[in-house]
C-alpha cells in the first residue's frame, strides 16, 4: 500500500482507534428526527445494535430532503428498458409525489408501521416507488424476484405474513413474456397466510384477470388517488433499529433465511460508501446493472444513490442480446453514466460475444470513470480484458446479501490502492477480517482458511434473521465464536489484501489435498479461447473428489473443442501441479446461472454425482441443466 496516494491506511486506522467516533461522524451525513442515544449498544440484539435511540425515516433521506435542498428537478431515476422499448425519467419531485400517493394507498388498505408488504415485481419504476412508499410509512418491504416459482413465493408469504402484495401482470425476458399473475395466484393458494389485498400493475405487453375482492388495479387506484391522496406528506418516524426490509436468501428446503436490514445503520454505511468507496458525487449518474430482487438492487439501484443525491439508472435488459453486446456501452453513453457496478458474469458474456470490443467504438464513454464488479469472483482474465478495453479503473469488490455493502474493496474515493488481480483488495472500515482454520485459529499469510469477520459487524449488516435469532446464531455465529462466518474461503497476503477463492463448500479434497476451485478457474479463464468457466469437485472412488472443468468458448473460435480441452488440462498441470488431478475439461454452449449471474455449481455437482436435485428457484433458463447433463453423460459422468 502507498499512503502517499491513498487515504485508506489513515482512514482504516482511524476506524480501528475509535470505531464509535468514526461511525458517529459518518452518521452526521444523515437527517435524524432524534439523534441516537448510543452509537452502538453491545447489550442490544444478538451481537449489539447501531444508533440505538435514533429516530429517522429512510424515504425522507432518499427523496424528500433532496427536494427540499434544491434537487427537485434533478433526475432521480432513469428507467431504460430495451425489452419494453421504453424510457422514462423521474425527477426527485416526481418521485416524491408518486411515493406519497402509493404510501397513502397502502395506508388505505390498512398497512401501518411494522406491517409487511411483499413486492413481486419486474424492473420498472413502480418497484422502486413501492419500496420507498413502504419506507415512508414504516412498513417492512420484502422484494421477491419477479417470476420466482410459486412454491418459493409461498414460503416467503408464510414467513413474512404480508398485509398487501404489490405485483405486475408480467415481466419481460428476451423473446418472451413471463406472466406473473398465475404464479402469484398459485403462491397465495399454497400459502397458509393470505394477504388482505394485491395491487396489480397492468403492463401494456400483457394484461391479466384480477381476482374479485382481493386484487386491485394499481394504475387505476393511483390515477384516481393522485387527485386527492396527499395524506402522507410527512414521513412516519421509525427507530434506527426498526426493520426497513427483509430479503430472503434461500428457500429450497425448510424455512427461508430472511435477512433483516435496519433503517439507521443501513443509511449511514451506504451513504458513506458512495463517496469513499465508489468515488461518486451528488448529482452524478450511477448505474448498478442488477435487479431490485437482489441485494445489489436494494443497496445500489435504490437506496445508496438516492441517499447520496445521485441519478440512478434502472435498466430492464441484458448485457448481450438487447440488442447486442454493446448494450452496456449504449446505456453508459446515452445517460452520461460516471460509475457502473455489475457482476463479472455480465462482462464474461460481453467478452464471449465481442472478444475484441469492437462495439465499444460506436459510443462516447468520455464521462465514464470506473467499473465495479461483485457478485461472483472476478477472474483476473476478465478483469484485465475490461481494463484494457475501457481504459478506466476496474475494481473488484466483495460483499454479501447479509452485509448489504462491501466487506472488501479498493476505495476509489479515498484514492486507489495498487491493484492485485484476483483480489478485491482490502477490508473496508468497520470490518475486522481474519483468516482462520477449523479450530478458529488465525493462519499465516497466504494460507487458505475460512474468512471471518470479528464481531461486532458494522452498520448496515444484518442484526438477525426475520423473527429467527436462533437460526441467525446457528447459521452465522456458532461455528467460529466471536466471529461472523462468511462461508467463503481464501487467504490474506502480507499487505492485508484479501483473496476470496471460493465458498467453503467449494474447497475440494483431492486425495487429502485441500484445493480451491477458484484457483483452478483462474487457470482455465486465462486460456485465450475461454470466455467463461466453472470448476467443481465430483465424486471419485479412488481420490474422494476430482475436479471437473466446464468451459464456454469465445465467439469465433473454430478449433476442435477436444484440442482446447487438452491444452487446459495441461495448463492446470503446469500452473497448479499434478496434485490437482485435473483431467476432465468439458466444452459446453453455456453455463446454468441464477438471474443475478451466479453459476449454479452446486446443482451441476449433484447432476455429475448422480444425486437427486431440485430445479433452483432462481435459475435463468432451466433447459441448460439438461444440456449439462447430456455433456456429462457424453463423457461417462453422472446418471
Average pLDDT of span 518-535: 90
Q: CA-to-CA distance for 428 and 408, rounded, in angstroms?
A: 5
Is residue 247's pLDDT more than 70?
Answer: yes
- Reference 625, options 606, 635, 636; nearest CA is 606
The sign of the torsion formed by the CA atoms of 484, 486, 487, 493 equals: negative
Interacting residues of 520 by C-beta distance below 8 A, sequence separation 6+ = 535, 547, 549, 572, 576, 580, 582
Interacting residues of 155 by C-beta distance below 8 A, sequence separation 6+ = 251, 255, 256
Give the model confidence (pLDDT) of 266-285 as tens digits: 999 999 999 999 999 999 99
Give the model confidence (pLDDT) of 294-337 as tens digits: 999 999 999 999 999 999 999 999 999 999 999 999 999 999 99
User: Where do the domains of the chain lie?
Assistant: 511-634
Interacting residues of 498 by C-beta distance below 8 A, sequence separation 6+ = 398, 408, 423, 424, 425, 426, 427, 433, 451, 490, 491, 492
pLDDT over 90 for what percent of the chain? Answer: 78
According to the model, what pLDDT value does residue 1 have? 45
Q: CA-to-CA distance for 481 and 455, rounded, in angstroms?
A: 9
Strands 584-587 and 544-553, sheet pairing = parallel
**How sure is the predictor about 2, in pLDDT bands with cuts at 50, 70 and 90?**
very low
Give the model confidence (pLDDT) of 46-62 as tens digits: 999 999 999 999 999 99
Average pLDDT of span 145-149: 83
**How sure is the predictor about 541, in pLDDT bands with cuts at 50, 70 and 90?**
confident
Q: CA-to-CA distance for 97 and 103, rounded, in angstroms?
A: 10
- Residue 246's DSSP bridge partners are 260
Minimum mean pLDDT range among 38-47, 384-393, 572-581 = 572-581
CATH of domain 511-634: 3.30.300.30
Cα angle 471, 473, 474 (rounded to 5 degrees) comes to: 65
Cβ contact 604:638 at 8 Å? no
According to the model, what pLDDT value does residue 543 have? 74
Give the model confidence (pLDDT) of 387-422 as tens digits: 999 999 999 999 999 999 999 999 999 999 999 999
| pTM metric for this prediction | 0.86
**How sure is the predictor about 501, in pLDDT bands with cuts at 50, 70 and 90?**
confident
Q: CA-to-CA distance for 50 and 44, rounded, in angstroms?
A: 9
According to the model, what pLDDT value does residue 419 have? 95
Amino acid at each position: 500500500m502507498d499512503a502517499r496516494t491513498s487515504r485508506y491506511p489513515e482512514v482504516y486506522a482511524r476506524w480501528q482507534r475509535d470505531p464509535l467516533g468514526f461511525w458517529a461522524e459518518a452518521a452526521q451525513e444523515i437527517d435524524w428526527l432524534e439523534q441516537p442515544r448510543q452509537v452502538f449498544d453491545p447489550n442490544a440484539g444478538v451481537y449489539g445494535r447501531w444508533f440505538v435511540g435514533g429516530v429517522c425515516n429512510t424515504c425522507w433521506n432518499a427523496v424528500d430532503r433532496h427536494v427540499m435542498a434544491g434537487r427537485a428537478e434533478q433526475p432521480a431515476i432513469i428507467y431504460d428498458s430495451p425489452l419494453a422499448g421504453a424510457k422514462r425519467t423521474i425527477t426527485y419531485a416526481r418521485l416524491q409525489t408518486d411515493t406519497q400517493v402509493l404510501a397513502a394507498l397502502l395506508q388505505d388498505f390498512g398497512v401501518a408501521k411494522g406491517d409487511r408488504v411483499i413486492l413481486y415485481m419486474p424492473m420498472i419504476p413502480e418497484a422502486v416507488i413501492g419500496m420507498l412508499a413502504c419506507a415512508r410509512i414504516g412498513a417492512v418491504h420484502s422484494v421477491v424476484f419477479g417470476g420466482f416459482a410459486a412454491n418459493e413465493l409461498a414460503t416467503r408469504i408464510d414467513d413474512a405474513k404480508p398485509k398487501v402484495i404489490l405485483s405486475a401482470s408480467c415481466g419481460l425476458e428476451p423473446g418472451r413474456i413471463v406472466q406473473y399473475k398465475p404464479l402469484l395466484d398459485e403462491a397465495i393458494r399454497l400459502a397458509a397466510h393470505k394477504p388482505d389485498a394485491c395491487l396489480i400493475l397492468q403492463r401494456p405487453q400483457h394484461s391479466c384477470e384480477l381476482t374479485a375482492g382481493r386484487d386491485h388495479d394499481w394504475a387505476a387506484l393511483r390515477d384516481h388517488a393522485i387527485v386527492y391522496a396527499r395524506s402522507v406528506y410527512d414521513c412516519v418516524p421509525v427507530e434506527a433499529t426498526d426493520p426497513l426490509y427483509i430479503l430472503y436468501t434461500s428457500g429450497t428446503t425448510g424455512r427461508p433465511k430472511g435477512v433483516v436490514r435496519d433503517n439507521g445503520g443501513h443509511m449511514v454505511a451506504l451513504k458513506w460508501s458512495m463517496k469513499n468507496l465508489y468515488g461518486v458525487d451528488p448529482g452524478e449518474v450511477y448505474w448498478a446493472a442488477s435487479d431490485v430482487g437482489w441485494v445489489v438492487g436494494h443497496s445500489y439501484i435504490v437506496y445508496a444513490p438516492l441517499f447520496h443525491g445521485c441519478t440512478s439508472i434502472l435498466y430492464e435488459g441484458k448485457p448481450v442480446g438487447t440488442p447486442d453486446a454493446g448494450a452496456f456501452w449504449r446505456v453508459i453513453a446515452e445517460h452520461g453514466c460516471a460509475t457502473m457496478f455489475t457482476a463479472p458474469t455480465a462482462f464474461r458474456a460481453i467478452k464471449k460475444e465481442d472478444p475484441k470490443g469492437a462495439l465499444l467504438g460506436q459510443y462516447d464513454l468520455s464521462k465514464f470513470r470506473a467499473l465495479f464488479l461483485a457478485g461472483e469472483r472476478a477472474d483476473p482474465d476478465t478483469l484485465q480484458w475490461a481494463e484494457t478495453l475501457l481504459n478506466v479503473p476496474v475494481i473488484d469488490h466483495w460483499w454479501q446479501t447479509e452485509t448489504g455493502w462491501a466487506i472488501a474493496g479498493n476505495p476509489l474515493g479515498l484514492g486507489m490502492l495498487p491493484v492485485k488481480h484476483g483480489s478485491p483488495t482490502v477490508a473496508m472500515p468497520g470490518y475486522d477480517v481474519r483468516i482462520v482454520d477449523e479450530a478458529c485459529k488465525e493462519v499465516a499469510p497466504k494460507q487458505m482458511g475460512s474468512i471471518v469477520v470479528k464481531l461486532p459487524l458494522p452498520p448496515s449488516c444484518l442484526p438477525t434473521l426475520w423473527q429467527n435469532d436462533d437460526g441467525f446464531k446457528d447459521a452465522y455465529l456458532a461455528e467460529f465464536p466471536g466471529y461472523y462466518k462468511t462461508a467463503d474461503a481464501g487467504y490474506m497476503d502480507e499487505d492485508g489484501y484479501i483473496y476470496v477463492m471460493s465458498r467453503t463448500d467449494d474447497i475440494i479434497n483431492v486425495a487429502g489435498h485441500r484445493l480451491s476451485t477458484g484457483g483452478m478457474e483462474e487457470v482455465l479463464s486465462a486460456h485465450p479461447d475461454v470466455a467463461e468457466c466453472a470448476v467443481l469437485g465430483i465424486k471419485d472412488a479412488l481420490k474422494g473428489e476430482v475436479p471437473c472443468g466446464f468451459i464456454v468458448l469465445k465467439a469465433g473460435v473454430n478449433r476442435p473443442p477436444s484440442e482446447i480441452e487438452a491444452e487446459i488440462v495441461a495448463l492446470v498441470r503446469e500452473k497448479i501441479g499434478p496434485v490437482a488431478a485435473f483431467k476432465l475439461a468439458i466444452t459446453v454452449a453455456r453455463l446454468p446461472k441464477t438471474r443475478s449471474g451466479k453459476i449454479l455449481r452446486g446443482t451441476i455437482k449433484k447432476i455429475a454425482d448422480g444425486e437427486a436435485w431440485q430445479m433452483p428457484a432462481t435459475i435463468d433458463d432451466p433447459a441448460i441443466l439438461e444440456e449439462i447433463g447430456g455433456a456429462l453423460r457424453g463423457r461417462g459422468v453422472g446418471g
